[in-house]
């Protein structure tokens, strides 16, 4: 009798897990791609244009990503605001840029991990791919403050870089487009598979029962309406649909021309506090409850918020191993830092 009871419970549990996997997929949730071929398929399905992937571009892009000389001051790199050791973000409410000034719109730095798979880039969605996005912060006065011409001049003053660009890009060599393209190719490799992906791929035991309960609440409460797809976000959605965001007056950001805002990815969300476009909420359960009020028009209890948080922590993925690169030495021709 005990054996039959155990078997019945096991079968019911397995069926429940499989049903939840199907329900998650039917709700629009998708696992991360397992390789660059899979990345390419997702990009094509989302209508995102990207250059030919090349491992040489990746290595060059990694150097550029960590090279602070791409900033006017010579002390700010891409990694400053998108720190790969801090969940791909910076851990502060608003990005700090040139001359140590806060972002004038009080915008929070989004994570760079898995960002290549977003449908759009920037909080207002103005860039369609990471190559276009990479050009923004480099040139932006409140961020790295380096005009495109100066960026090319800096990189062209370093023979090691010049040689690499010529080998990879041929006659076009060092150009601002190629600088951005190399950085984007490196960022394309920053994919973080998690236990949630294993679950979606059919491993019923990849999530604990508490995490499965949180996933079901995540679906049933309607969170998947905005946080869907391979990144559980990364698309444009209307904001303040059902109520007013309590910190809406912090900064002047109002979204794009239609009031649409890029939904942040929930991958590695437990590592990327503070939350929202202006980084006003530090506690994940508080962010969950605020989203329930602002977007869904519902009151999410502390208990349910904690359960959803338990699920969200399963989205913390395995980070690719990144070895800090040795950068080319400056030369007499390298433009001096400007403060």
pLDDT number for residue 18 = 73
115 with 134, same domain: the answer is: yes
Mean pLDDT across the stretch 315-325?
Answer: 97
159 with 221, same domain: the answer is: no
49 with 168, same domain: the answer is: yes
Largest CA distance in the chain: 84
For residue 144, being part of any structural domain is answered with: yes
pLDDT tens-place string over residues 19-69: 999 999 999 999 999 999 999 999 999 889 899 999 999 999 999 999 999
- Whole-angstrom Cα distance, residue 53 to residue 62? 14
Does residue 10 surpass a pLDDT of 60?
A: no
DSSP E strands, 136-289: 236-238, 260-262
Query: Of the residues 154, 169, 187, which one is the last residue of a structural domain?
Result: 187
Does residue 234 surpass a pLDDT of 60?
A: yes
Three-point CA angle 253, 256, 260, nearest 5°: 95
pLDDT number for residue 1 = 59
Query: Of the residues 157, 187, 217, which one is the last residue of a structural domain?
Result: 187
Phi and psi angles of residue 121, each rounded to the nearest 5 degrees, phi first = -120, 155
Residue numbers of the domain that contains 116: 37-187
172 with 212, same domain: the answer is: no
220 with 297, same domain: the answer is: yes
219 with 285, same domain: the answer is: yes
For residue 227, being part of any structural domain is answered with: yes
52 with 116, same domain: the answer is: yes
Place of tokens 């397995």: 14
Q: Which listed residue (59, 143, 160, 290) is catalytic?
A: 143
50 with 147, same domain: the answer is: yes
pLDDT tens-place string over residues 264-283: 999 999 999 999 999 999 99
Q: For residue 309, what is the domain's CATH number?
A: 1.10.760.10
For residue 322, being part of any structural domain is answered with: no
Mean pLDDT across the stretch 300-316?
Answer: 98
For residue 46, being part of any structural domain is answered with: yes
Cα–Cα nearest to 201, from 22, 40, 31, 316? 31
pLDDT number for residue 2 = 57
For residue 117, being part of any structural domain is answered with: yes
- Whole-angstrom Cα distance, residue 126 to residue 262? 10
For residue 282, being part of any structural domain is answered with: yes
206 with 156, same domain: the answer is: no
164 is catalytic: no
Does residue 8 surpass a pLDDT of 60?
A: no
DSSP E strands, the chain: 236-238, 260-262
144 with 205, same domain: the answer is: no
Domain count, the chain: 2
For residue 133, being part of any structural domain is answered with: yes
77 with 153, same domain: the answer is: yes
41 with 165, same domain: the answer is: yes
pLDDT tens-place string over residues 157-215: 999 999 999 999 999 999 999 999 999 999 999 999 999 999 999 999 999 999 999 99
Mean pLDDT score of the chain? 94
């Amino acid at each position: 009798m005990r054996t039959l009871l155990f078997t019945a419970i096991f079968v019911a549990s397995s069926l429940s897990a499989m049903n939840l996997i199907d329900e998650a997929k039917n709700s629009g949730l998708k696992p991360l791609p397992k390789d660059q071929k899979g990345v390419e398929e997702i990009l094509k399905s989302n209508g995102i244009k990207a250059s030919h992937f090349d491992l040489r571009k990746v290595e060059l892009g990694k150097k550029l990503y960590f090279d602070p000389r791409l900033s006017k001051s010579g002390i700010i790199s891409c990694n400053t605001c998108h720190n790969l050791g801090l969940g791909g973000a910076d851990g502060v409410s608003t990005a700090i840029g040139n001359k140590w000034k806060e972002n004038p719109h009080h915008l929070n730095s989004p994570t760079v991990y898995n960002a290549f798979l977003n449908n759009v880039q920037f909080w207002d969605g103005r860039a369609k791919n990471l190559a276009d996005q990479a050009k923004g912060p480099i040139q932006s006065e409140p961020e790295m403050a380096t005009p495109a011409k100066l960026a090319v001049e800096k990189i062209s003053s370093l023979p090691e870089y010049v040689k690499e660009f010529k080998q990879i890009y041929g006659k076009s060599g060092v150009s601002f487009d190629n600088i951005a393209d190399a950085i984007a190719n490196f960022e394309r490799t920053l994919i973080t598979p998690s236990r949630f992906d294993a679950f979606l791929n059919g491993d019923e035991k990849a999530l604990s029962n508490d995490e499965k309960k949180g996933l079901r609440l995540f679906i049933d409460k309607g969170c998947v309406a905005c946080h869907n797809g391979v990144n559980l976000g990364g698309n444009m959605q209307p904001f303040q649909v059902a109520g007013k965001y309590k910190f809406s007056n912090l900064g002047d950001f109002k979204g794009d021309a239609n009031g649409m805002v890029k939904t942040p990815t929930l991958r590695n969300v437990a590592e990327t506090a503070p939350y929202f476009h202006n980084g006003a909420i530090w506690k994940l359960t508080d962010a969950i409850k605020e989203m329930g009020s602002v977007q869904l028009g519902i009151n999410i209890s502390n208990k349910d918020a904690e359960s959803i948080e338990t699920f969200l922590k399963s989205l913390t993925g395995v980070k690719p191993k990144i070895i800090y690169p040795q950068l080319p030495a400056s030369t007499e021709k390298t433009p001096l830092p400007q403060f």
